[in-house]
Amino acid sequence: MKFADEFRDPQKASVLIANIEDALKRVPMPEGRPLHIMEVCGGHTHSIFRYGLQKMVPREIEFVHGPGCPVCVLPMGRVDDCITIAKIEGVIFTTFGDAMRVPGSKGSLLQAKSEGADVRLVYSPLDALALAEKLPDREVVFFALGFETTMPSTAITILEAKRRRVTNFSIICQHITIIPTLKALLDDPDAMIDGFVGPGHVSMVIGNRGYDFIPRDHGKPFVVSGFEPLDMLQSVLMVLTQMAEGRATVENQYARIVPEEGNGEARRAMAEVYEDRKTTEWRGLGIIDASGVKLRSAYRAYDAELKFNLQQAHVPDPDICQCGDVVRGIIKPTDCAAYGTMCTPKSPLGALMVSSEGACSAYYQYGATGLNDPREKIVS
């Protein structure tokens, strides 16, 4: 298949659903609860609700919405750090659109902009570097966040900044990594996960070998998936087939995009520019060891935290906000006391409602029960 509508074919979806129902009959079920399949990536969460997939699969299967959205796990203190730098005289602060609306304890970057800070939306770190070259008398800071999907573009920008000898450009490095996050989830006794639909875009960069510990050490199937509805349904079928056959391994449903070894050039750029950060704070998940990166010593001239002598702020989430329990798969967004009342897309309390990939945003946008007739509307 080559075209998007081919991956949204209702007849093919019906065949996959029938195969899922058949495979489910042969799967040993957990006692007293549905089968929990975690889709790690926020893009998968939105596909599930946009196309009504949660209503298409049997009721014995429940999707659990994972932490694979970097904006969703952005701690409040980190937002405060950004605002602190954005308000420094002479600074132009740049970032992606979703990050501008994430609330910290002092408001959001968007609010800081309304109060006079020079905060600008960019589409890539190279845009920020170009701005620094254009305005050499200003300090341009880029808020670099994201999993391994966006890490290469930041690394390449840092390499370019050094090559071009641009000295008025720096970054706040909030890049995080998926493997330690999954390890932390699986070590959590409250997280009941039976199998994984793995992140396609991250895997495009890092490849698939890093996930081997999941079937090896935890006995859970892991299937790297694409984002179209047929991709998702086929991936669920592959997870169930492994369970039915009493095996657990890493499989690659998204082979048309994801090479087994990942992207060699991207990985080399990342290895050149970054090193592990000893500890990293995640919103709702707390501290996860070695789950983030920082710039290596050769590139510390581009580290905004060092340039501006920033002391990282640590701010606890509001007690009523349960984003952490949602990304751990313990509750659904609608179980949060703030959902739809104190926390809405227009006035988000938690990052899961801000991000376009957040689970709470997906529930709110598409409805907690999804489409009424998903088999008929899957092409829409």
pLDDT given at position 376: 42
pLDDT average, residue stretch 201-207? 96
Mean pLDDT of the chain: 90
The distance between the two most distant Cα atoms of the chain, rounded to a whole number of Å, is 67
- The whole-number pLDDT of residue 374 equals 38
Residue 73: band (very low, low, confident or very high) from pLDDT cuts 50, 70, 90:
confident
Residue 40, φ and ψ in degrees, nearest 5 = -70, -40
Cβ–Cβ under 8 Å, residues 118 and 93: yes
Domains 4-71+179-260+323-377 and 76-176+264-307 share a fold: yes
Q: What is the pLDDT of residues 343-368, one digit of tens each?
A: 888 888 877 888 777 888 888 888 75
CATH of domain 4-71+179-260+323-377: 3.40.50.11750
Can you give the pTM of this predicted structure?
0.88
pLDDT at residue 377 in the model: 43
Please determine, for residue 300, whether its predicted confidence score (pLDDT) is greater than 90.
Answer: yes
Mean pLDDT for 55-66 is 92
Least confident range from 25-34, 148-157, 175-184, 280-289: namely 280-289
SS3 224: strand
CA dihedral angle for residue 25, residue 220, residue 203, residue 77, rounded to 10 degrees: 120
CA gyration radius, the chain: 21
- Does residue 210 surpass a pLDDT of 80? yes
The more confidently predicted of residues 358 and 264 is 264
Domain boundaries, the chain: 4-71+179-260+323-377, 76-176+264-307
Q: Residues 363-376: what's their mean pLDDT? A: 56
Q: Give the phi and the psi of residue 297 in degrees, each rounded to 5.
A: -60, -35
* Structural tokens at position 176: 């995080």
**How far apart are alpha carbons 53 and 234 in whole angstroms?**
12
* pLDDT reading at 279 higher than 50: yes
Quote helix, strand, coil % in the chain, to nearest 5.
45, 20, 40
Hey, what are 177's tokens?
A: 């990594």
Lowest mean pLDDT among 56-60, 116-120, 372-376: 372-376
Percent of the chain's residues with pLDDT above 70:
96
User: Given a cut of 90, is residue 165 above it in pLDDT?
Assistant: yes
What angle is formed at CA 58 by the lines to CA 242 and CA 31, rounded to 5 degrees? 70
pLDDT, tens digit (0-9, with 9 covering 90-100), for 308-326 = 998 877 887 777 888 878 8
In whole angstroms, give the CA distance from residue 197 to residue 93.
Answer: 36
- The mean pLDDT value for 275-304 works out to 92
Which residue, among 220, 232, 229, 227, has the nearest Cα to 196 in the 3D structure? Answer: 220
Q: Which CATH class is domain 76-176+264-307?
A: alpha beta
Q: What is d(CA 94, CA 91) in angstroms, rounded to the nearest whole number?
A: 10
Task: Go through the chain and tell me how many residues it has.
Answer: 380
